Amino acid sequence: MANTDLNAAKKAKNDEFYTQYSDIQKEVNAYLEFDPDTFRDKTVLLPCDDPEWSKFTRFFAENFERLGLRKLVSTSYAVESKKFRAPYLPTLFETDAPQFDEAKTRVKGKIFVLDHDTNGSGRIDLDDLQWKYLDGDGDFRSDEVKRLRDETDIIVTNPPFSLFREFLAWIMEADKKFLVIGNMNTINTKDVFPLVVSGKLWTGNGFTNGNAYFQVADGTKTSYADGVYDSTTNLVKFRNCCWYTNLEHGRRHQPLQLMSMSDNIRYSRHREIRDVGYRHYDNYDAIEVPYSDAIPSDYDGVMGVPVTFLDKFCPEQFEIVGITKTWFGAATKVYPEQVQIDANGVRKSVTKLNDGAVLKIDEPPKGSTWYEVGGERFIQTYPRILIRRRKTP
């Protein structure tokens, strides 16, 4: 099965893919290992959920007592409001309930609440979930769902990826604890990166090997590229997906095991570093470190590292000081218009060299894009996070 990223789904505005129970369980357990009381006595809201499909409601309801929850609230989005609609038939769970309403089932969202033992079983679990139709369609931006947000302690979900930034702003404006799934590429953006720098958001424990598999609804399979959807498991695979959170977990405090600069130059497994060393950017006061495992343990200056470093970021080991994006404003120079020469030798006037870290080169690279400005040659790196090591006291 081939890999892809979430951008295709985001472009197509297809938000209908569903998180697996085992991924939710593994992630939540990582927080409990760090602090068994993470969810104790808390109200948890699961917005943008869909208990007919979603495993979030199931997981939190089944583990209500183990987590020590005070209250669980989950809301679903009306089928008529969804951009991608699978063939819709209300479930027996809905049609068998006395509150089932044919006029509402397609156009209203639903709210599910769990906070006490309703059936006298002696425990609070999935069978005690109460539900009703919302007044509106369950849009997280509605006043109705905003009120639920304001009353909650922790927001947990896999939100619509096409609205991810808006969803994050919705959490931030209410200043809530959260655990949500998103696209790793979002972290480069003007809205999200400042939250990382100020320590208001970090990546969670993560999916196994960084690969996330989601279940899709029957009618939406065809919207995925060939090879992404696996018919035997009914799963789609996304590679650049992660959990974002402001809840503490243990992995975040495990420092990376790194070699000194001189040992890297001697022994690094990366040919860009071994016997070559670290290059200084032409337009940032930092050195280029193209792999997180090649970060030198003893360098005191600023280093540009891949965005995927954030998944390994330990705040006691490093400080995040910036990003090589124009909007961040850390560049030390601005290039005049450049000539871009692509892999086929096609030349074009551009200004894009300013949006990233730049390395000066002696010879044009074979098979990749480079730039010429004022008789000098340059290449641009992928976006880099700028970090500095924290000195041990």
Ligand X SMILES: C[S@@+](CC[C@H](N)C(=O)[O-])C[C@H]1O[C@@H](n2cnc3c(N)ncnc32)[C@H](O)[C@@H]1O
Residues in contact with ligand X by CB under 6 A are: 15-19, 48-50, 54, 56, 77, 82, 138-140, 157-160, 163
Minimum CB distance to ligand X, residue 16 (Å) = 5
Q: Looking at beta carbons only, is 109 or 322 nearer to ligand X? A: 109
Closer residue to ligand X, CB minimum distance, 160 or 296: 160
- 216 or 357: whose CB is closer to ligand X? 216
**Which residue from 381, 206, 187 is spatially nearest to 279, judged by alpha carbons?**
381
| b/e per residue 54-78 (b: at least 16 CB within 10 A) | bbbbebbbebbeebebebbbbbbbb
CB of 180 to ligand X, least distance (A): 9
The single-letter code of the amino acid at 36 is: P
Q: How far is the CB of 188 from ligand X (least distance, A)?
A: 21
Residues 307 and 315 sit within 8 Å (Cβ to Cβ) = no
CA dist list (Å): 302 to 238, 291, 324 = 32, 15, 12
Phi and psi for 193 in degrees, rounded to 5? Answer: -60, -45
Shortest approach of ligand X to residue 218 CB, angstroms? Answer: 14
Q: CB-wise, 51 or 322, nearer to ligand X?
A: 51
C-alpha torsion angle, residues 260, 265, 269, 270 (rounded to 10): 110
Least Å from the CB of residue 159 to ligand X? 6
Alpha-carbon distance of 24 to 382, in angstroms, equals 31
Query: Is the Cβ of residue 85 or residue 377 nearer to ligand X in the bound state?
Result: 85
Indicate the DSSP class of residue 280: B
Cβ closest to ligand X, residue 212 vs residue 294: 212
Centroid of chain to Cα 375:
41
Q: Which is nearer to ligand X, 19 or 292 (CB)?
A: 19
Q: What residues form DSSP beta bridges with 208? A: none
d(CA 259, CA 326): 31
Query: In the bound complex, what is the minimum distance in angstroms from residue 167's beta carbon to ligand X?
Result: 8
Shortest separation between residue 21's beta carbon and ligand X, angstroms: 10
Tokens 């068994």 correspond to: 36
Residue of minimal Cβ distance to ligand X: 158
At position 69, the amino acid (one-letter code) is L
Number of other CB atoms surrounding residue 198 within 10 Å: 9
Angle between helices 55-62 and 21-34 (to 10 degrees): 40
